[in-house]
Amino acid sequence: MTDCLKARMRGGSVIIGCWINLFDTLAAEIVGRAGYDCVMIDLEHGPGDVMDAISVMQVLQADCRPLVRVPANEAPWIKRVLDAGAEGVMIPAVNSRDEARAAAAACHYAPRGSRGMAAVIVRAADFGASWQDYVRRIEEEILVICQVESGDAVANIAEIVEVEDVDLLFIGPFDLSASMGYLGEPDHPDVRAAIARVETATKRAGKFLGGIATPERPADELVAAGYDLILQDSDLALLRDSARANVARLRETVRNSRGAG
């Protein structure tokens, strides 16, 4: 898979993706056909499980790659979503070098890591039909994403970015702001300063950088700051916002029509 997400980012592409929170296969298929480079299947805050994640993966177009956010930094979760076919894994709340090392190790087979070896049967390896090819290529193509979303993570960022097999640091501005005492204020000056610290350390270490836009910092500013992965939309929010906007327009039309009559 020469056009894996990691290779594209190395080539200078900015990857754009959409969160999957609804776990509806038709909605996921629509998102997958819209032109996103990837989806982030959210098992941390979404209601789905591994089988639901597989259902989403089955309806994606080949050029829309599946990433999965696991509920916690736990090897069994990481192993299961990789076996299911994820091209990359996002691990939430990585706050230290040891936690980053544990996350990276869980993503890779021995001797590089400690991922359980069941490639002879798993979906990711065509249920074992191409397991040798899978084992060979996934070690280089997998995207290991650690989330920076606490004051502790910011304080330890210089050590976290030095972990060899962590590929991308993803800043969670809303959780970060909450952990710093500014709940719901991702653009507070103190939070912005912490984010800038993470951005600088990440790029200096040669790692990829990811995040989401905030009310006062739109996606174009993230691109200008060197972000490699932007997960701006979610299937849930797209449906919610579109529905609310359409209802508002229709009610305005009704009011105007009655007034004209």
Is 188 part of the annotated catalytic residue set?
A: no
214-237 burial, b for 16+ CB within 10 Å, e for fewer?
beebeeeebeeeebbbbbbbbbbe
Domains of the chain: 5-260 (3.20.20.60)
pTM to 2 decimals? 0.95
At residue 2, the pLDDT reads 56
- Which pLDDT tens digits describe the chain residue by residue (261 residues)? 458 999 999 999 999 999 999 999 999 999 999 999 999 999 999 999 999 999 999 999 999 999 999 999 999 999 999 999 999 999 999 999 999 999 999 999 999 999 999 999 999 999 999 999 999 999 999 999 999 999 999 999 999 999 999 999 999 999 999 999 999 999 999 999 999 999 999 999 999 999 999 999 999 999 999 999 999 999 999 999 999 999 999 999 999 998 775
Structure tokens at 155: 């304080």
At residue 180, the pLDDT reads 97
Structure tokens at 261: 């009559």
Among the listed residues 10, 45, 249, 255, the single catalytic one is 45
Q: Is the distance from CB of 214 to CB of 173 less than 8 angstroms?
A: yes
194-203 burial, b for 16+ CB within 10 Å, e for fewer?
bbeebbebbb
What single-letter amino acid sits at 177? Answer: S
How many helices (H) and strands (E) the chain has is answered by 12, 8
In the chain the first and final C-alpha atoms are separated, in Å, by 62
